[in-house]
């Protein structure tokens, strides 16, 4: 959170103007950049309105937690009020979403979405927005998970008149989602008095803050229930908008013989695959014809194994992008194209029968296959030459077919402990954004350390595994990879660094010597001990990530130097331009460095690069475990 104190103190700090300076200062410390002018303006206009209501309600001693960060997520609730329930005397919490809107109207297609003049796209109804925050907090904060009845949610539109926002009340309200407006300010005061008493709320706030953060519901662990039974994920804000956008498009397609394209774009960990699974589960339950497709063998194989372990029809929901060369036009209601940045120019390869070599672009095949083709992608995770999934290319293909195309941008991220600061540090480190590398400032969401040797890196990860965490080692593609292992022989130790030797993960779809097949390396506990590459790590996550940077990317003087001769990746041909190789190698390390949910340990085979990483990161594995 950015600030915590009593409601009376918040009001006094607002009056003096000091609060907004302190919020800005803390924002810079936590996020690594200044808040936008619109965010500062919303603080200046909305927080005084909330403080005034609380003090007029006689709740000056209630604790106010401003910009409260949701656990394992980069989203923030505007305020969480912590206090004592006036009847039970037990801790009580109210999550508050503040809006400056004076007018808003429900979307014509879906009252869960609404339209306001200052936004070109539909936004989530604030009732659903604050409800999502409450449900998410209950899912991930141990204090609240044990007592969900102590949590309440309210959206306060302090500038709104009844006439201006009356349509928003069409959405059902409940304990976690209530709507109040400035024109009926007294109702909000009365509501708060029923949830919070006048006693000090500092102890309740302490209990909330110190509540054990539940482990992330990792994608593979709940895929089976998600698809077969019910939603296991709480979708927030833009995620829910994306989900609703697709379902609304499906409804329109069924009602009026309609076809449209939906694109969902966002960086690593923004929840694209969570949205995909939630959609697939809901469409499956509704009886709609829907399939999930990716260009990743590892991801598709794992989804088939986990989600379809007991039902053949569930396993058959997971396909590859090149499965639709001969699909009948609009034969599906929905085709969910996950990791669409891995689309190829064409589905044909050397094994494709001559009769199927139509010359059609893969994107055309995917769009044609369904009434509502959905593309989820991150343009900055392209790691192979020939991958071509971008928003512009998909929109161009849709336009050429005369189709409407809706784009939803995801902002919050859930990977890397929800640390925006860490993701920014990674892209700055690798030169994928301007400004050059910066020193890592530890936050309370992500741990980052440097190892002095691969032995040290592996030993550290192994101790984390002994404590119940998942962990994997991965590396740049800088060592030959033995693809064929004779039956009965162990995996050869291809990755050799000094006297440390380990095998790459298995190549292929059979286990070898207890090591899982390639597609299951990231999710099978037996994957520890082998070194994964970008093609087996991409799309997955684990608690602790150990990343070995090879000689293909080294620091010299004041910049990174890419050495394509050090790469053993067979996808790089002589004809691949140097600029493409440089971009793809940097993207590779971005993928590897963003797999960890709790922490990342980095080791470079190059001495000068290790020294640069030490100066940027600071923390080494010599730090006692209890202080980490």
Spatial CB neighbours of 38, under 8 Å, sequence gap ≥ 6? none
Q: Are 133 and 153 in contact (CB under 8 A)?
A: yes
pLDDT per residue as tens digits for the range 604-619 = 999 999 999 999 998 7
CA distance 357 to 326: 10
Q: Please give the structure tokens belonging to residue 336.
A: 């969910």
pLDDT per residue as tens digits for the range 501-529 = 999 999 988 899 899 998 889 989 999 99
Question: What is the arrangement of strands in the sheet containing 105-106, beginning at the earlier edge strand?
Answer: 105-106, 113-115, 123-124
**Helix and strand numbers, DSSP H then E, in the chain:** 20, 24
Give the rounded distance of the alpha carbon of 277 from its chain centre: 13
Given a cut of 90, is residue 473 above it in pLDDT? yes
Mean pLDDT calculated for residue range 45-70: 96
Measure Cα distances from 328 to 81, 322, 365, 371 in Å. Answer: 55, 14, 10, 11
pLDDT per residue as tens digits for the range 207-219 = 999 987 654 444 4
Could you say which DSSP state residue 387 is in?
Answer: B
Measure Cα distances from 165 to 7, 103, 104, 147, 329 in Å. Answer: 27, 5, 5, 33, 43
The more confident residue out of 626 and 457 is 457
Q: 350 — phi, psi (to 5°)? A: -65, -20
**Least confident span in 155-169, 341-355, 440-454, 539-553:** 341-355
Q: Which residues pair with 335 in a beta bridge?
A: 291, 373
pTM assigned to the model:
0.70
pLDDT of the residue at 220: 43
Q: 243 — phi, psi (to 5°)? A: -60, -50
pLDDT per residue as tens digits for the range 100-123 = 999 999 998 898 999 998 778 899
Q: Are 474 and 534 in contact (CB under 8 A)?
A: yes
For the beta carbon of residue 19, count every other beta carbon within 10 angstroms. 24
Q: Are 68 and 3 in contact (CB under 8 A)?
A: no
Q: Please give the structure tokens belonging to residue 607.
A: 């001495």
- Give the helix/strand (H/E) hosting 407: strand 404-409
Q: Please give the structure tokens belonging to residue 598.
A: 């709790």
Could you say which DSSP state residue 102 is in?
Answer: S
Q: Which residues pair with 602 in a beta bridge?
A: 450, 547
pLDDT per residue as tens digits for the range 545-586 = 999 999 999 999 999 999 999 999 988 888 889 999 999 999
Secondary structure string (H, E, C) spanning 311-354: CHHHHCCEEEHHHHCCCCCCCEEEEEECCHHHCECCCCCCCCCH
Nearest CA among 116, 196, 102 for reference residue 158: 102
CA distance 365 to 372: 13
CA distance 9 to 176: 27
Mean pLDDT calculated for residue range 274-278: 87
pLDDT of the residue at 318: 85
pLDDT of the residue at 311: 63
pLDDT of the residue at 274: 84
Mean pLDDT calculated for residue range 357-361: 79
Q: 157 — phi, psi (to 5°)? A: -100, 85
Give the rounded distance of the alpha carbon of 447 from its chain centre: 17
CA distance 452 to 614: 9
Given a cut of 90, is residue 92 above it in pLDDT? yes
Confidence class for position 626, pLDDT limits 50, 70, 90: very low
For the beta carbon of residue 212, count every other beta carbon within 10 angstroms. 12
pLDDT of the residue at 355: 62
Q: Are 522 and 555 in contact (CB under 8 A)?
A: no
């Amino acid at each position: 959170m950015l600030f915590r104190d009593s409601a009376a103190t918040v009001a006094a700090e607002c009056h003096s103007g000091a609060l907004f300076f302190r919020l800005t200062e803390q924002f810079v410390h936590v996020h690594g950049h200044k808040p936008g002018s619109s965010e500062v303006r919303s603080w200046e206009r909305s927080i005084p309105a909330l403080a005034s209501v609380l003090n007029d309600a006689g709740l000056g001693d209630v604790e106010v937690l401003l910009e409260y960060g949701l656990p394992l997520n980069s989203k923030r609730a505007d305020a969480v009020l912590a206090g004592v329930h006036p009847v039970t005397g037990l801790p009580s919490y109210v999550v508050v979403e503040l809006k400056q809107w004076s007018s808003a109207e429900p979307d014509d297609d879906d009252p869960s979405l609404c339209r306001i003049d200052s936004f070109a796209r539909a936004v989530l109804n604030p009732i659903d927005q604050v409800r999502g925050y409450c449900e998410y907090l209950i899912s991930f904060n141990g204090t609240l998970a044990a007592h969900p009845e102590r949590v309440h949610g309210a959206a306060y539109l302090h500038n709104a008149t009844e006439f201006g926002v009356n349509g928003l009340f069409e959405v059902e309200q409940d304990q976690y989602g209530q709507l109040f407006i400035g024109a009926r300010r007294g109702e909000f005061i009365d509501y708060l008095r029923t949830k919070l008493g006048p006693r000090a709320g500092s102890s309740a706030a302490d209990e909330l803050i110190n509540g054990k953060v539940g482990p992330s519901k990792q994608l593979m662990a709940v895929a089976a229930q998600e698809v077969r039974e019910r939603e296991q994920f709480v979708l927030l804000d833009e995620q829910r908008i994306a989900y609703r956008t697709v379902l609304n498009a499906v409804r329109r397609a069924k009602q009026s013989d309609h076809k449209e394209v939906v694109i969902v774009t966002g960086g690593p960990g923004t929840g694209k695959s969570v949205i995909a699974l939630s959609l697939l589960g809901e469409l499956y339950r509704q009886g709609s014809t829907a399939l999930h497709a990716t260009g990743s063998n590892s991801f598709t194989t794992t989804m088939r194994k986990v989600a379809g372990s007991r039902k053949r029809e569930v396993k058959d929901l997971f396909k590859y992008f090149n499965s639709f060369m001969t699909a009948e036009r609009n034969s599906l209601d929905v085709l969910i194209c996950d990791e669409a940045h891995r689309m190829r120019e064409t589905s044909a390869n050397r094994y494709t029968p001559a009769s199927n070599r139509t010359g059609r672009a893969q994107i055309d095949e995917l769009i044609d296959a369904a009434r509502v083709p959905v593309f989820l992608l991150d343009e900055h995770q392209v790691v192979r030459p020939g991958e071509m999934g971008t928003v512009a290319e998909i929109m161009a293909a849709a336009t050429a077919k005369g189709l409407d195309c809706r784009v939803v941008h995801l902002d919050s991220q859930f990977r890397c402990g929800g640390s925006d600061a860490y993701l920014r540090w990674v892209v700055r480190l690798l030169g994928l954004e301007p400004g050059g590398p910066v020193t890592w400032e530890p936050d309370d969401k992500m741990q980052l350390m440097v190892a002095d040797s691969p032995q040290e890196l592996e030993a550290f990860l192994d101790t984390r595994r002994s404590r119940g965490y998942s962990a994997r080692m991965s590396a740049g593609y800088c060592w030959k990879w033995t693809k064929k292992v004779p039956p009965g022989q162990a995996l050869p130790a291809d990755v050799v660094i000094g006297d440390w030797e380990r095998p790459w993960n298995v190549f292929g779809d059979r286990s070898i010597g207890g090591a899982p097949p390639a597609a299951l390396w990231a999710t099978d506990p037996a994957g520890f001990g082998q070194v994964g590459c970008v093609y087996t790590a991409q799309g997955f996550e684990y608690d602790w990530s150990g990343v070995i940077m090879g000689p293909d990317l080294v620091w010299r003087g004041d910049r990174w130097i890419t050495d394509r001769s050090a790469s053993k990746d067979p996808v790089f041909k002589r004809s691949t331009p140097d600029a493409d190789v440089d971009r793809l190698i940097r993207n590779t390390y971005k993928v590897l460095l963003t797999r960890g949910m709790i922490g990342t340990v980095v080791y470079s085979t190059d001495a000068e690069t290790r020294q640069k990483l030490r100066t940027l990161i600071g923390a080494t594995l010599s730090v006692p475990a209890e202080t980490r």
